[in-house]
Amino acid sequence: MCYSLKVLPEKIIRPTVVVDLKKVKENILSIINKATHSNTSVRLHCKTHQSKEISNLIMNIGITKITVSSVEMAEQFAEYGWKDICIAFPVNILEIDAINALASRVKLYLIVDHSDVVTFLDQNLSHDIQVWIDIDAGYGRTGVLVSDNREIVHLAKQIDHSEKMNLAGILTHSGETYACRGKEDILKLHQGVFETLKSVQSILKNEGLAYQLSVGDTPIASTLTHFEGIDEIRPGNLALYDMTQSFIGSCHHSQIAISLACPIVSKYRKRLELLVHAGGVHFSKDAIETETGKLYGRCMALSDGRWITPHMDVIRLCQEHGIVSVQPEQFDRFNIGDTLYIHPVHACMVMNLFKSVSQDRVVYLS
């Protein structure tokens, strides 16, 4: 349900996700403005939010195409009215019937990195699709090695000769940026990746093949001042941001649009700790390594979205338990039955977990 800040339900009795739609809109518009000046198209990744409310918001802003991470998610967003969808996960050939059904309803983009998959698609597709070649520019997760020009050209020609597949170009995800700390690190990494990808584009261009470039990660999309030379960007986390993005340098923590409302259920004065009802099944076990240990979340003030100071951090998680450390002067400010609002480390995981638990425990602030 959607609430204004002034009428947010006072009695949240269980762990609940709170999403600030005003911040979501501001985060997305900042990227659109940069992309417009560079003549770069925006294909937002929806795996972070998986939300009909945010889907409607970005559609109303004027975005016409999206990215998802699975065939199942593509089906979900097709039901929401999207007609141009990229599944940014290597094709699972066992889902060919579902892929064909989707391709009959929407303009469908798939990504491939193996010639056997291209052969299978050529033999089994019932409808035309668009295809990106997935390039591994250093992350080591999926894709053809960026240095393997022969294989990239081979795949491109294979796709280009197909009656059912149209080559879109090359696509990459620079997941290495998640190990960066600061904008300078992100921009330096991007420059190296970008120069390498431009050389691949030149090879495809010389072969008379499609060579558009699609780049997808929030740190790069957030820190670049322009997108010259990039045809498409596919950031996802930037809609909500999270603590990881703040620590990387992608955003200021006041831009984080998601928090977990967590009831305080006990207090431990000798340990200077509070117990909240919210554990690994709500936050996930993703953590940020700091000099003092692992960090699973940080308390914020709902009024302005800024971190409470001194910081009140989630330092331990069990399945349903979250342990929040406090300073001596803070301990008596919070009572059993109060609610803490906590920025998570990884927004994508939290939204996915709550989609599985109960969608009515995600509230939206207008």
- Pick from 346, 149, 153, 363: nearest CA to 256: 346
Q: Which structural domain, as residue segments, surrounds residue 57?
A: 21-239
Cα end-to-end span (Å), the chain: 10
Can you count the helices (H) and strands (E) in the chain? 12, 21
Statement to judge: residues 66 and 199 lie in one domain: yes
Statement to judge: residues 233 and 259 lie in one domain: no
Judge whether 361 lies within some domain: yes
> How does pLDDT run across 70-86, given as a tens digit for each residue?
999 999 999 999 999 99
CA distances from 256 to 108, 217, 345 (A): 31, 16, 11
Percent of the chain with pLDDT over 70: 96
Judge whether 145 lies within some domain: yes
Statement to judge: residues 87 and 123 lie in one domain: yes
Give, as one character, the DSSP assignment of residue 307. Answer: B
Judge whether 174 lies within some domain: yes
Q: Residue 364: enclosing H or E segment and its boundaries?
A: strand 362-365
Q: Residue 151: enclosing H or E segment and its boundaries?
A: helix 149-160
Split into its structural domains, the chain has a count of 2
Instruction: Determine the pLDDT at residue 264.
Output: 97
Give, as one character, the DSSP assignment of residue 166. Answer: E
Helix 71-79 × helix 96-103 angle, to 10°: 30
Go through 14-35 and write b for each residue having 16 or more CB atoms within 10 A of its CB, e for each that does not. Answer: ebbbbbbbebbbebbeebbebb
Statement to judge: residues 202 and 152 lie in one domain: yes
Is the four-CA dihedral 80, 85, 89, 91 of positive or negative sign? positive
Last residue of a domain, which of 239, 264, 298?
A: 239
Judge whether 342 lies within some domain: yes
Q: Residue 35: enclosing H or E segment and its boundaries?
A: helix 21-37
Judge whether 330 lies within some domain: yes
Judge whether 248 lies within some domain: no
Which positions of the chain have pLDDT values less than 50? 3-7
Is the four-CA dihedral 268, 269, 272, 274 of positive or negative sign? positive
Statement to judge: residues 158 and 209 lie in one domain: yes
Q: Is 26 left (phi over 0), alpha (psi -120 to 50) or beta?
A: alpha
Last residue of a domain, which of 239, 261, 291?
A: 239
* Integer Cα distance of 6 and 342 in angstroms: 19
* Integer Cα distance of 30 and 114 in angstroms: 36
* Integer Cα distance of 204 and 14 in angstroms: 54
Instruction: Determine the pLDDT at residue 165.
Output: 98
- Radius of gyration of the chain from its Cα atoms, rounded to whole angstroms: 22
Statement to judge: residues 259 and 200 lie in one domain: no
Instruction: Determine the pLDDT at residue 5.
Output: 47
> How does pLDDT run across 325-365, given as a tens digit for each residue?
999 999 999 999 999 999 999 999 999 998 865 556 888 88
Statement to judge: residues 201 and 314 lie in one domain: no
Statement to judge: residues 88 and 157 lie in one domain: yes
Instruction: Determine the pLDDT at residue 310.
Output: 96
Last residue of a domain, which of 239, 273, 297?
A: 239
Judge whether 149 lies within some domain: yes
3-class DSSP state of 365? strand
Statement to judge: residues 85 and 166 lie in one domain: yes
* Integer Cα distance of 329 and 108 in angstroms: 56
Instruction: Determine the pLDDT at residue 4.
Output: 44
Q: Checking DSSP bridges between strand 258-268 and strand 16-20, what pairing results, if any?
A: antiparallel
Which amino acid is it at 39?
N
Instruction: Determine the pLDDT at residue 12.
Output: 86
Statement to judge: residues 178 and 60 lie in one domain: yes
Judge whether 12 lies within some domain: no
Which amino acid is it at 239?
A
**Average pLDDT over the chain, rounded to whole?**
94
Statement to judge: residues 61 and 208 lie in one domain: yes
* Integer Cα distance of 208 and 153 in angstroms: 10
Q: What is the CATH number for 262?
A: 2.40.37.20
Statement to judge: residues 185 and 275 lie in one domain: no
Q: Please work out, in degrees rounded to the nearest 5, the angle formed at the alpha carbon of residue 364 by the alpha carbons of 346 and 258.
A: 20
Q: What is the CATH number for 225?
A: 3.20.20.10
